[in-house]
Structure 1
Amino acid sequence: MKPIYYRTISELAPLIKAKQLSPVELTKAVLERAYQLQPTLNCYITFLPEQALERARRAETEIISGKYRGPLHGIPYAPKDIYYTKGIRTTSGSALLENFIPDYNATVINRLEDAGCILTGKLNLNEFAVGETNINTHFGNVQNPWNTDCMSGGSSGGSGAAVSAGLSFFSVATDSAGSIRVPSGFCGVYGLKPSYGLVSLYGIPVLTKSLVGAGPMARSIEDMAIVLQSIAGYDPKDNTSEKVPPENYYFYLGKSIKGIKIGLPNYFFKDLDPGVESHVMYAIRDLERLGAVIKEVSMPELSMSLVADVVTEGPEAAAYHHENLTTQKKTLYQDYTRITLEAGELTTGMEYEKAQKARRVIRHAFYRTFRDVDVVAAPTVPITAPHFTADPIDQNLEVWMRCTPYTCPADVTGLPSLSIPVGLSNGLPVGIQIIGRPFAEGQMLQIGHAYQKISPFKNLVPID
């Protein structure tokens, strides 16, 4: 039997509801796991064991008295340290905010508290979520639990490694160029960049508000559905929030995918590592055996995605940081972050407008493709987790150049994208992503669940 810290929410929740499992004992198990592996993996920036145990005791009292709130009640978790948490420091992975303590919660954190979750701490990230490596010269790098000589991916690397290694049952993170899906792919967990406007950004100091999505990372599709159900929905405090009808994401799980049409754009199937290519193609054939209809599609417009993302993200992030960049505070930034932000300040208004036009063209290309297929499938990233090298600036740039072209098409269009683990290449995880229509998360989870049920890799975890 799997150790309790490797169990899923969907396995644990019925036991908690039936009073067969104590939230206190569950929280202790996760905290002990975190104590054991934090020195090696460096997932946490802020650790909250006393507060977590106090909240676990409160949850247990509520459940014993018959006040069960639902499947997240009594479940420990840790968010990326970019979500505001009232009275708890929120560093965004930067020395500039090392001691910053918000006086309110992000909406997502409030919704998880209302669901009865147990906050165990805040997780490491690239500084201000800039980068795809989780190389952090201030708080330290996050190591990949599958091979600690390798990176976890970023910017949500603490989330990917913590969920993968059993230090948290799930996490919530952000994604503006791949920051949920890159670490999900590198660490072998499920990760969802939701439709733009589905999950509130209130209380998340995102630098690129026209691109970013906030979403869950977990160890199963069922768990993804449970968490998304709790955090999705309109928020009047967030001006990017869309008034879409609430969905029952669990409703889609277990449904056949027979007849669902999956498009394979040739853009995504070039320059792949051999192990990535073989596992992704095996997964696509598995989906076909389950009844999906596989169709090659042409989307040459996707070649504009990387430029559109960079020329949008750069000046939006630079505008957010402009005051710091013009004072002595700029010396507190890590070199890679500062260089990236200063490059964003060089973008002209004409270049920015051209990027927005390119985003519209790319979005139209997806909508045209969705007339013939239901979703698009692609490798999450073209490589497995790289080994750390001596030069963080060069490695940040190298990983960003290899991975972002595969993840940023969903960001520049605002479309949802779900990363699914599909195997191991040389001992390191490989992922496939499903990109869907706006607010079609249910159908994407349906596809992911169908694959998960027959996947030979569904129970693989890092070796202790």
Structure 2
Amino acid sequence: MENSRRKFLTNTSLGVLAAMTGCHKDTAKTDNALPATSATAPPGAPSAFATSPAAGPEVSAATFAEAEKLVRVELTEAERAEAAGSWRVAMAPLYERRTGPRKVALEETLAPASRWDPRLPGQKEIDLQQRFMRSALAAVPLPAKDEDIAFAPVTQLSQWIEKRQLTSDRLTRIYLDRLGRYNSKLRCVITLTRDLALAQAKQADAEIAAGKYRGPLHGIPWGAKDLLDTAGIATTYGAEPFRNRIPSANAVVVQRLHDAGAVLVAKLSMGALALNDVWFGGQTMNPWLLEEGSSGSSAGPGAATAAGLVGFAIGSETGGSIVSPSMRCGVAGLRPTYGRVARTGAMTLCWSLDKLGPMTRGVEDTMLVLNAISGPDTGDVDSIPSKLDYDAKTPVEGLRVGYFPAWMREATDVDRAALEAVKKIGMVPVEVSIPDWPYDALNMILFSEAAAAFEELTLSGGVDELKMQVPDAWPNIFRQARFLSAVDFVQADRFRRKVAVEMARVLSQVDLLLVPSLRDEMLTITNFTGHPSLTLRAGFVEVSEARSDWAPDPHHPLPKFNPPRRVPHGVTLIGRLFDEGTLGRAGLAMERSFAVDSQRPPGF
């Protein structure tokens, strides 16, 4: 299958290149005549466009005729001739930074000068204060079985550790044992950090015994998506070319969790270069349905958290990589407001879209972790100082919850039951709507930024090492993106602001939104506007066929099930900018109403 697809891509690519760069012997030489430049321009004469030294290969009117198909514009014959005649002195020289002779390397940490700020000019910000008040938990005795301890949420684990009913060392060894026992089923671990974990656990126990309790993450084992740098420990991006990459410093989020006393037990799998759920070690699987992938790209964080192999995990999202595996694996996933959590030391896929957030077994756990990792850093020029206003005791009654009636009609019974739960717990459903616009056009930005981030890997052929070489995988997309129009990129950026204005209008009417988790329009919109989201398990559905992040392949059909299999299903709340506290309060109330969060995947 992969070989046939490779041949298709290769033949197609070669055909397009041949059509675009062919000599076209029947084309007159005059098509490529270059305007003369004067080396003796009079003093004070300004420079003019289209007077640079000729660069690049010759092009013809026929070249432009073929290129028009890629960008979907049409020129007249005269316009093509004029464009071809001056291309080498007008436009081709603009590529000199990359093609030479004066090449300029761009450091991996160098961000674009253009920045995305989710806060719109003139938009009134909601009144937030810095406040963090977790819910009061009834005392629960420590279970006798290790597996019952392993599946407990952080809210409960932290209580046992603080009261010294459970040591970090014991909890860490429980998770290390489970990681070793179940990883062969799930393929969710890239690097087990046993030595570091045991050392951190020992330190945590000593500090707690001495009365130096750092807070609710102290002594709690966690797993990091393998795009977060860890000093002296491989950080591979899940991709073959980076298997031996060992950074010298911790990512800011890793350091903040170290400072909170958390214990790093594993670098968890991710779809190669943050796409889907296949990495160089194979496909990460869903603990609830081992015949299907976990979804991605935060594949390992979703699978390991759902299977009780870590206390919590950190994932990342550019276009759905926290929401989708949280939905499929039945965990709680919080995608923070763009800019809230500094990304210094994390792999860049898209500068204006990447976000880091927690994946846990309970809604309040996400808030505990977010409180520890929030804040700006000078290494991330897009990070923004913000407040986290969360008080679990503040009532949710009266909160206005927007929903889209047509989407709910097309969704599952679980989604519709979630809307009923909104009413049951005293929140107020409000119908909202958005224009019928081509929101997928925003992916012009995603593809362009991703191709730029991995330009060197693509042009050097390094992407050819990736396991997935199919039309919807990064290697092909990165190559295709070279032919996206820069003009259309700017127009997509303007469209992005128009969409952000529309979202501001919608969220001025309500306090939050309830949406089907994988509804493409809202998943795309909110990733580009930067609004926060919280995905939580709301119930169960039955599936008769395995689900996949990849485009359908008729040569490799997905497994079918008769009778259908029972799997978790999540819903997603969308919040106002930097209002994760309201998401947490509403999500916690809904989680308690659903009462399905304690169910576990069979066999784990």
> With structure 1 as the length reference, what TM-score do the two structures score?
0.90
Query: Structure 1's 213 and 267: CA in aligned 2 closer, same or farther, altered over 3 A?
Result: farther
1:347 CA drift (Å): 1.3
- Counterparts of 1:375 and 1:19 in 2: how far apart (Å)? 39
Could you say which residue in structure 2 is the equivalent of 1:324?
457
Q: 422, 425, 429: which is aligned to 1:287? A: 422
Does 1:349 find its partner at 2:486? yes
Give the counterpart of 2:347 among 196, 201, 205: 205
Query: Which structure shows the bigger proportion of residues in helix conformation?
Result: 1
Specify the code of the residue in structure 2 equivalent to 1:322: E
Does 2:274 correspond to 1:129?
yes
SS in 2 for 1:423: strand
> In the alignment, is residue 262 of structure 1 matched against residue 401 of structure 2?
yes
Q: Is the 8 A contact 1:45 1:81 kept in 2?
A: yes
- The alignment partner of 2:536 has SS state of strand
Aligned 1:133-144 pairs, distance under 5 A: 134-136=277-279, 138-144=280-286
8 Å contact from structure 1 (residues 420, 431) kept in 2: yes
How far 1:270 sits from its partner (Å)?
Answer: 6.6
Aligned residues of 1:76 and 1:118 also touching (Cα < 8 A): yes
Q: Which runs of 5+ in 1 are unaligned?
A: 383-403
Separation in 1 of the partners of 2:433 and 2:522?
15
* Match of residue 55, structure 1, among 197, 200, 205: 200
Q: Match for residue 463 of structure 1?
A: 602
**Partners of 1:312 and 1:68 in 2: CA distance:** 45
Q: Which residue identity does 1:412 align to in structure 2?
A: F
Cα distance in 1 between the residues matched to 2:409 and 2:232? 47
Matches within 5 A, 1:362-373: 362-373=499-510
For residue 229 of structure 1, what is the aligned residue in structure 2? 371
Q: CA separation of 1:161/1:378 partners in 2, compared to 1, >3 Å: closer, same or farther?
A: same
Q: CA deviation at 1:414?
A: 0.7
Q: Are 1:408 and 2:524 an aligned pair? A: yes
1:164 is aligned, of 306, 312, 319, to: 306
Aligned residues: CA RMSD: 1.5
**Which residue does 2:388 correspond to in 1?**
247
Superposed CA deviations along residues 41-67 of structure 1, whole A, max 9, x for unmatched, are 111011122221122111111111121
Structure 1 270/352 Cα, relative in aligned 2: closer, same or farther at 3 Å?
farther
Give the Cα separation in 2 of the matches to 1:232 and 1:356. Answer: 27
Preserved contact between residue 425 and residue 593 of structure 2 (Cα < 8 Å): no
Q: CA shift at 1:247, angstroms?
A: 2.2
State the AA in 2 paired with 1:104: A
Task: Provide Cα deviations, 1:62-111, integer angstroms capped at 9, x if missing partner.
Answer: 11112111111100001100001111100001011000000111110000
Aligned: 1:425 with 2:541: yes
Q: Kindly indicate whether the alpha-carbon contact (under 8 Å) linking 1:87 and 1:102 is maintained by their aligned counterparts in 2.
A: yes
Question: What amino acid is aligned across from residue 57 of structure 1 in structure 2?
Answer: K
Which of the residues 219, 224, 234 maps onto 1:79? 224
Deviation at 1:267, TM superposition (A): 6.5
2:405 and 2:440 map into 1 onto residues whose CA distance is 16
In the other structure, the counterpart of 1:451 is 590
State the one-letter code of the partner of 2:283. Answer: N
Partner in structure 2 of residue 376 of structure 1: 513
C-alpha separation in 1, matches of 2:291 and 2:179? 19
- Give the distance between the partners of 2:517 and 2:311, measured in 1 at CA: 22
Aligned to 2:317: 175
- SS of the residue corresponding to residue 246 of structure 2 reads coil
- Indicate which of 290, 293, 317 corresponds to 1:151: 293
Offset of 1:405 from its aligned partner? 4.0
8 Å Cα contact 2:388/2:579 also seen in 1: no
Q: 1:195 aligns with which of 337, 340, 356?
A: 337
Give the letter for the 1:145 counterpart: P
Please, what TM-score do these two structures have when normalized by structure 2? 0.69
1:305 to 439, 450, 455: 439
Q: Which has the larger radius of gyration?
A: 2
Contact 2:389 2:579 in 1 (8 A): no
1:453 & 1:324 partners in 2: Cα distance?
47
| Partners of 2:232 and 2:488 in 1: CA distance | 41
Aligned residue among 239, 242, 249 for 1:94: 239
- Alignment of structure 1 residues 41-52 onto 2, 5 Å: 41-52=186-197
2:388 is aligned with what amino acid?
A: E
Provide the C-alpha distance between the structure 1 equivalents of 2:202 and 2:223, rounded to a whole number of angstroms: 18
CA distance in 1, matches of 2:270, 2:407: 26
Bigger relative contact order (CA 8 A; separation at least 6): 1
Aligned residues: 431
Shift of 1:454: 1.9
- Assess if the C-alpha contact under 8 Å between 1:304 and 1:358 holds in 2: no
In 1, Cα distance between equivalents of 2:413 and 2:503: 25
Aligned sequence identity (%): 32
For structure 2, which runs of at least 5 residues remain unmatched after alignment? 1-142, 543-565
